[in-house]
Amino acid sequence: MPKAQETVLEINLKALKHNFEYLKSRLQPNTKFLAVVKAFAYGSDACEIANYLQSLNADYFAVAYINEGIALRHAGVTKPILVLHPQSVNFKQLIEHCLEPSIYNSKILKEFINSASAEKQTNYPIHIKFNTGLNRLGFSGHDVDSIANELKATETVKVTSVFSHLAASEDLEEKRFSLNQIETFNNIAENFTKQIGYKPMRHMCNTSGILNYPEAHFDMVRCGIGLYGFGNSEKENQHLKPISTLKTVISQIHTIKQGESVGYNRAFKSDALLKTATLPIGHADGIGRQYGNGNGFVTINGEKAPIVGNVCMDMVMVNVTNIDCKEGDEVIIFGENPTAENLAASVQTISYELLTSVSQRVKRIFID
């Protein structure tokens, strides 16, 4: 790969294909694969990623909000797209772009039926979400009768799937809780199917669910972080490849004398002679202020360079006293080593947050 000459996010499509094929290999042949591409495909590029996965025969896509789904349609994605958290103000646009809403409470169900009816729809595909313990979105099992009655009274919509979300599938110490969620969902789905008189798809597993709970793969799985290279465990990370590498360059090197300070608020004061490198990346690019003052680091010529002082909006300064480097040299923020997970752990957060924080102003480069 060419050396960076500016701040860039390199996205390796070969690694994405590897992850997709590995995760698919953990499924039964008839289990559908839904790729989660919300939040710009976890900070990469949703349109490029979805189109590439569509070429690999991903069955479904999921986004968080309607505008994300519309962007995929405009980019040429034709596969079904589930909108996980639709807002009723945008239902008309959702229908115009053939997106499929997650329906999670009675208010949204009634509002969507009214919107679909106004657009003269028949059997419009919807997905009914049940809450089995995450306590975020979803009907309860006690709502089955009322949902079924609402659905029987209209031909405007038809349920494509019923689904739920595991709360702690990556944590095997919570296995009993997860198994209880799976059993609860099974019971709800069975009752719901009897009530409506036909059998929608069932899905419950996220990436960790795919890896840890094969009994809950059902008709489809929803995979997000695994596609981007992380399996939520050291063991599974060995089978996956991070697809994104965030790179930048050294803009300037300074010699800092004892007693001099670096950056805003004089947050760092040197107690010895040292060298710092200034890099064109900052909190506006996704490297939050929590990474400052030695908490975070970058890698230059294979060596760790801790961040010095406060992270600026567009720049960070790092300690390169013991690193053989020069202005213009490439700098790795995260990639294969260190990974986004490694860097995020340095400030007690998770790879998801770091990946999705990479600003849209950072240039994306695709490698196949």
Amino acid at 254: H
CA geometry: angle 203, 61, 133, nearest 5 deg: 35
Q: What is the dihedral of CA 39, 43, 48, 54, to 10 degrees?
A: -60
Which pTM was predicted? 0.96
Considering 173, 193, 228, which residue would you say is the last residue of a domain?
Answer: 228
Q: Are residues 175 and 151 in the same domain?
A: yes
Q: Where are the alpha helices (DSSP H) in 157-288?
A: 175-196, 207-212, 234-237
Q: Are residues 143 and 51 in the same domain?
A: yes
Set 38, 129, 241, 247: catalytic member: 38
Give the C-alpha separation, 80 to 69, whole Å.
10
Answer whether residue 1 shows pLDDT above 70.
no
Q: Read off the pLDDT band of 2 (50, 70, 90).
A: confident
CATH of the domain at 222: 3.20.20.10
Domain count, the chain: 2
Q: Are residues 250 and 210 in the same domain?
A: no
| 264 is known as an active-site residue | yes
Position 23 in a domain: no
Q: Are residues 63 and 135 in the same domain?
A: yes
212 SS3 class: helix
Give the C-alpha separation, 259 to 236, whole Å.
47
Set 24, 65, 158, 264: catalytic member: 264
Q: Read off the pLDDT band of 156 (50, 70, 90).
A: very high
Position 121 in a domain: yes
- Reading the block at residue 244, the tokens are 């994104």
Q: Are residues 204 and 288 in the same domain?
A: no
Q: Are residues 79 and 124 in the same domain?
A: yes
Q: Of all residues in the chain, what percent carry a pLDDT higher than 70?
A: 100
Position 22 in a domain: no
**Which structural domain range is residue 86 located in?**
31-228
| 352 is known as an active-site residue | no
Q: Are residues 81 and 129 in the same domain?
A: yes
Give pLDDT, residue 353. 97
Position 16 in a domain: no
> Please, what is the average pLDDT of the chain?
97
Q: Of all residues in the chain, what percent carry a pLDDT higher than 90?
A: 98
